[in-house]
Amino acid sequence: MAASYLRLHQSGSKRWSRRSPDTLRILLMIYTHLEGDKPIQLDFVDKANEIEVSVEQLRAEVDWFIEQEFLALDGNVDGVARVWVNPSVAFFPGTDPRVAAARHRFPYFQPAKGGMSAEEPVVIHPYEPELWEGVYNVQRELFENPRVFSFCPGHAR
């Protein structure tokens, strides 16, 4: 939710509408392809067709995700990008978020208390190994043995 809240807040709006960016839907499409602690191969043409957005819109959203550090780009050749997902956004069951966070010095995102009604709807904590260690320890069960929901096709294996 932090990505959607931040995107909406930056657009100057306080509520979703038809003209709101497809931030959450695009991010869901990206992270359902997680496999362990690996980057995702993102083919812009195929994915844009799959989720029925223009290639330009998909590229703009991915660029925004990278700029905000929800994703990290690891190359883009012939319309196929390799992207890493910030583990505060999504992670593959059984992976250690501390490793991915350290690899790209990802910040930790969380929705603020009050969500979109808060003055700043997203709290962004800069990368600190101690913070990620604390996140891991507090949510150890979630990271080591998360519940998998059947409606998440990328993880319902």
Q: What is the pLDDT of residues 4-39, one digit of tens each?
A: 677 776 766 555 544 445 777 888 888 888 888 899
- What percent of the chain stands above pLDDT 90? 36
Is 157 within a domain? no
Q: What is the CATH number of the domain that holds 118?
A: 1.10.10
The pLDDT confidence band at residue 2, using thresholds 50, 70 and 90, is low
* Residue with more model confidence, 19 or 84: 84
Is 93 within a domain? yes
Dihedral sign from CA coordinates of 33, 76, 37, 135: negative
- Distance CA(24)–CA(4), nearest Å, equals 6
Q: What does the pLDDT average to over 54-71?
A: 92
Alpha helical stretches, state H, the chain = 2-10, 23-31, 44-51, 55-68, 97-104, 129-138, 140-144
Instruction: Flag whether pLDDT at 151 surpasses 80.
Output: no
Q: What does the pLDDT average to over 99-111?
A: 91
Looking at the chain, how many residues does it have? 157
Is 154 within a domain? no
Is 156 within a domain? no
Q: What does the pLDDT average to over 97-102?
A: 92
Is 71 within a domain? yes
Residue 100: exposure state from Cβ atoms within 10 A (0-12, 13-18, ≥19): buried
- Distance CA(90)–CA(87), nearest Å, equals 5
Question: Whole domain around residue 43: which residue ranges?
Answer: 2-10+22-144
Is 151 within a domain? no
**What pLDDT, on the 0 to 100 scale, is given for residue 21?**
52
Count up the domains in the chain and report the number. 1
Is 56 within a domain? yes
**What pLDDT, on the 0 to 100 scale, is given for residue 116?**
64
Q: Which residue has the tokens 């392809």?
A: 33
**What pLDDT, on the 0 to 100 scale, is given for residue 53?**
87
**What pLDDT, on the 0 to 100 scale, is given for residue 150?**
38
**What pLDDT, on the 0 to 100 scale, is given for residue 115?**
66
Question: Six-digit token pair at 30?
Answer: 């990206």
Q: What does the pLDDT average to over 57-68?
A: 92
**What pLDDT, on the 0 to 100 scale, is given for residue 86?**
92
Is 132 within a domain? yes
